[in-house]
Amino acid sequence: MVGNSEFEEQALIRRALRGDLDAFNALILRYQDSAYTLAYRIMGDPHSASDALQEAFILAYRRLGTYRGGSFRAWLMRITTNQCYDELRRVRRRPNVSVEAMGEETGDDPAIPDDADTPEEVAEQRELQQAIQQCIGGLNADQRVVLVLCDVDGMDYQAIADTVGTQIGTVKSRLSRARASVRDCLQAVRELLPSAYRLISNEDDD
């Protein structure tokens, strides 16, 4: 099935390269969720994420000629990331969105895990996610992008280096600092954290 899917994707890519917009849209439909997740985690709010994503897809269509084979998803993610990057640099802001605002904005988040079935648990889970997102939003653009690519999208270091256009050593360094910053940030909302994390935090305090 996977092979068949890849075969279909290659056919779509070939058609898109010939200017077939429908084929390109079929590719977009395959990857728009993961690309939106990436854009949202980097940008920090749905409006900026949607704008960046739309621009990224338009740019991707116009720059189809730069696709040199390999993973189309990685190529699309690279363009999306760069678009978010440019937007972050342009706006020069760090979206420290309030918890209230984030409550509205994350209304389209997918369902909470099955085991969190009480309303309290659902609310706690959502609050925790908002807190994590807020901590990510507190990072500078370089660290934020690397952290999201690694811990949200699951890229390996080499893929991150290719996407961002930097060395693996730089990726390691940025990622380490990003994680340390998020760790410190989460201390401030430890009451939201799972008990395991709280235990570690308490240990640290003692």
Partner 1 sequence: MLTERDLELLSAYLDGALTEAERADLEARLQTDAELSRELARLRATVDLVRTLPSLSAPRDFTLTRDMVRRQPRILTSVAFSALSAAAAVVLLVLGATLMLPQLASSPLSNNQIAAVPTQVNTQPLQTAQEIAPEESGGGAAEPEVDESSPTLERSFADGALASTSLPTVAAQGTQQPLIAADALVPATGTFEAFSFAQQETTTGIEEALDDADVNTQQRVAMTATEQSAAEAQEAESMPAPAAANGEAADTSSAMVQQATQLPTSKPSETPLPSSTPTATATPTFTPSPTATSTFTPSPTVTSTSTFTPTPVPGIFDNVGSSGIGLGLIVLAIILLGVALVTTLIRRRS
The answer to whether 91 contacts partner 1 (rule: CB under 8 A) is no
The answer to whether 88 contacts partner 1 (rule: CB under 8 A) is no
Helix (H) or strand (E) holding 15, with range, is helix 2-17
Min. distance of Cβ 97 from partner 1 in angstroms? 15
**DSSP secondary structure letters along 149-194:** IIIIS---HHHHHHHHTS-HHHHHHHHHHHHHHHHHHHHTTGGGS-
Cβ(186)–Cβ(193) below 8 Å: yes
Among 84, 139, 149, 150, the residue binding partner 1 under the rule CB under 8 A is: 150
The answer to whether 96 contacts partner 1 (rule: CB under 8 A) is no
Min. distance of Cβ 69 from partner 1 in angstroms? 22
Q: Which two tokens stand for residue 18?
A: 């010939």
Stretch that binds partner 1, among 5-13, 91-99, 116-124, 179-187 (CB under 8 A): 179-187
Mask of contacts with partner 1, 107-146, x by CB under 8 A? -xxx-----------------xx--xx--x----------
- By CB under 8 A, how many residues form the interface with partner 1? 53
